Every structure is written in structure tokens, then in C-alpha cells.
């Protein structure tokens, strides 16, 4: 029988405490524990990025990060990795505060045993998987399996926060299926659902992996292009519409073809999340008014077809 294994990153700068904890972990009989030990938060972040352990055992007093800030830094950078806090005192208040900061559990080094440590790690991993599953369901569109409006809003907030720090360009696109109501009226809502799922697959295949795509609502989709100037987002949108135009959707004995319209806007210093989305939406309506099956951009002052956007003008 193959023995289950768990990888644990121990972040502890006290040599004696680290020795005792490692010895307890290696005494666990139920699973094989692979222990990696570092003494500072910076080393922990580097190790997690390279090895992605199943759990982190974290002391709150480290040379380069003190208290709950350590928990917050690890959780912000690696939300997929559960954290169990090691406290120096048998103080539930400290432990509860650690959990409020994102830790899954806590144990006191003064009273910890081998089995207590094992249960804390095992339960932390299980709880974290369950929580992640719930979050995924809450942020996923049930029909298309793309992210939903809630997830898009959260992703846009994160991207905007990153832009404020780095000023790296990013763009947003809204895409809407042309005359979608006719699909439902003529072929039925099941056919309409099939068209939506087919388009979702086309969006995923056409765009680069870093793009964040979501079903915004109904037949409308939204995409965030990180680190992307308006010209490159417009080029990607034009290519996607060509892919949509060339789709041959077979539903039962019917062959359906669709087109879509798109509106794109790039972040500027004048924008917030709402105004950026409003400009992309204005560009989408401009594309619809111009005859559909095309993409328009809002360059900050007015809407224009992507065919008239040049690299020089878009990057001013």
C-alpha cells in the first residue's frame, strides 16, 4: 500500500523550536511528512512559489516580518496554500486573530503534541480545500464554466490596485452576441445555451492565458487584458471576432453561425473601475450602431473602429 505524503513548510527562526517541531512532524505515523525549513518570511515566499507545499507552519515572530503581517503577506501572495500558526503562548485570542487574518488554524508551542500538530495540519488542508471549492462555485458561471460577474468585478478591483502601484497598462473588453434573441426565438433556449457555451470555448481558445474572461450577464462577456495597451487589446478583439465569425455550431441537425460585437477601453489616470467599464460599454454600443460584427475602442475622448487604431496613437 502506498503511504500518503504531505509537504510542509516550517517557517521558524528559533533553532530549538524548529528542531522540536520537525521531530514531531517526522514522528507522525499516519502519513509521510516532507519538511522544508526556512527562517524568514522572504525565504518562505520564495519557497512557496517554487514548491507549493500542502501547508505552511508559521511562527509569528520572524526577523523580517512580525505578528499577523506575516500571515497577511503569505495569504496575499499565495491564497491557495493553507497556513497554520505556531504561537508562543497558549493564548486563544492570538490564535483567533491569526484565523481572522487568513490562517486556517493555530497551535501553541507550549502544549503542542505530535497528534495535535498532525490534526491541525490535516484539518487545515481539508478546510482550505472545502473553502476553495465553495469560492470557485460562487465565482463560476454554471452554464459556461467561465468566471461570473462577481469574479470579474473582483478581478478588475485587483488589476486596478496593481495598476495604481505599477502603472502597467491594462484594457477591458465587453463582447455581445449579435441578434442573440433570434437564436432563442427560432431554435429555442437550449440552442441558445449551446451557442453561449460554444462562444465561451472560442473565447478561451482565442485569447492568451493571462486574459481574464467572464460571462458578464445574458449574452454579454467581459475580458480583462493585463499588461496590455489599447492597440494590442484591439488586435486581440478583432482576431476573436474573426474566430467567432468562422465558427460552425452544430446543434442537432441545425448548423448555426453567429457574429459578435466588442467594445474596448484602456485604463487611464482619469478612470476608476466604473468609468473604465462605461467607456468599454460605450464602444460596444458604437460597434452595434455601426452595423454589428465589429469592434470599436474608446480612446479616452471618443469611439472609433479598431481598424483605425494605430500603435502610436493607442500608446500615447
Q: Which of 12, 15, 51, 219 is catalytic?
A: 219
Measuring CA to CA, which residue among 203, 221, 233, 219 is closest to residue 299? 233
Decide: 224 and 267 in contact? Cβ < 8 Å.
Answer: no
**How far is it, in rounded angstroms, from Cα 130 to Cα 138?**
12
Measuring CA to CA, which residue among 147, 284, 305, 315 is closest to residue 224? 147
Cα separation values, 296 from 19, 236, 314, Å: 62, 12, 13
Does residue 12 have an active-site annotation?
no
- Only one residue has cell 484565523, namely 99
**How far is it, in rounded angstroms, from Cα 160 to Cα 152?**
12
Cα separation values, 173 from 56, 223, 283, Å: 38, 5, 9
Measuring CA to CA, which residue among 112, 132, 95 is closest to residue 21? 112
Q: Cite the active site residues.
A: 219
Amino acid at each position: 500500500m502506498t503511504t500518503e505524503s504531505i509537504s510542509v513548510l516550517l517557517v521558524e527562526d528559533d533553532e530549538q523550536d524548529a528542531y522540536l517541531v520537525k521531530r514531531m512532524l517526522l514522528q507522525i505515523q499516519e502519513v509521510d511528512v516532507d519538511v522544508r525549513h526556512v527562517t524568514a518570511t522572504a525565504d518562505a515566499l520564495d519557497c512557496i512559489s517554487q514548491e507549493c507545499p500542502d501547508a505552511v507552519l508559521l511562527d509569528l515572530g520572524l526577523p523580517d516580518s512580525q505578528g499577523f503581517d506575516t500571515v497577511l503577506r503569505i495569504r496575499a501572495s499565495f491564497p491557495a496554500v493553507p497556513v497554520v500558526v505556531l504561537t508562543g503562548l497558549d493564548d486563544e485570542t492570538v490564535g483567533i486573530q491569526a484565523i481572522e487574518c487568513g490562517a486556517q488554524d493555530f497551535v501553541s508551542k507550549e502544549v503542542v503534541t505530535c497528534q495535535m500538530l498532525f490534526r491541525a495540519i490535516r484539518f487545515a488542508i481539508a478546510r482550505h480545500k472545502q473553502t476553495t471549492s465553495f469560492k470557485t462555485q460562487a465565482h463560476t458561471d454554471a452554464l459556461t464554466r467561465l468566471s461570473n460577474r462577481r469574479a470579474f468585478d473582483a478581478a478588475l478591483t485587483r488589476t486596478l490596485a496593481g495598476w495604481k502601484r505599477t502603472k502597467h497598462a491594462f484594457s477591458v473588453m465587453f463582447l455581445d452576441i449579435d441578434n442573440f434573441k433570434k437564436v432563442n426565438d427560432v431554435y429555442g433556449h437550449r440552442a441558445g445555451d449551446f451557442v453561449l457555451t460554444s462562444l465561451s470555448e472560442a473565447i478561451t481558445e482565442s485569447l492568451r492565458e493571462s486574459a481574464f474572461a467572464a460571462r458578464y450577464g445574458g449574452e454579454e462577456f467581459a475580458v480583462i487584458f493585463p499588461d496590455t495597451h489599447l492597440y494590442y487589446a484591439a488586435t486581440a478583439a478583432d482576431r476573436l471576432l474573426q474566430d467567432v465569425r468562422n465558427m460552425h455550431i452544430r446543434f442537432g441537425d441545425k448548423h448555426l453561425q453567429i457574429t459578435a460585437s466588442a467594445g474596448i477601453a484602456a485604463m487611464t489616470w482619469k478612470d476608476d473601475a466604473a468609468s473604465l467599464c462605461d467607456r468599454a460599454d460605450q464602444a460596444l454600443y458604437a460597434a452595434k450602431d455601426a452595423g454589428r460584427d465589429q469592434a470599436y475602442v474608446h480612446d479616452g475622448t471618443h469611439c472609433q473602429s479598431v481598424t483605425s487604431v494605430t500603435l502610436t496613437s493607442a500608446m500615447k
